[in-house]
Amino acid sequence: MSATPAKIQEEVSAYLFKRFLAKDAKLDPSIPFSELGIDSMTVVELVMFLEERFGIEIPSDQLTGDNLKSLESLIACAVANQSS
């Protein structure tokens, strides 16, 4: 069963707050990760979390700057790669 974009965003956001962001930080899904102080290694960890938690495999050719730019773009990429 596929997870909804809202469910994926909810869980990835919770993971970000648990591991990397201050509890009072404002997380706008469209803001680039770099502006939130989230580096490329953290983004790789987010991809691994998505793949493990939701069983979504994101092909390596889709691990591009555009797809990994923000929470919004990462979720869109994950949803596009979900199995039905």
pLDDT band of 1, cuts 50, 70, 90: low
For 19-24, which contacts have Cβ atoms below 8 Å and span 24 or more sequence positions? 19/45
Tokens of 63: 């691990």
Task: Say what the pLDDT of residue 2 is.
Answer: 81
pTM of the predicted protein model: 0.89
Outline where DSSP puts E strands in 1-84: none
pLDDT tens digit sequence for 32-60? 999 988 999 999 999 999 999 999 999 99
Average pLDDT over residues 1-22: 90
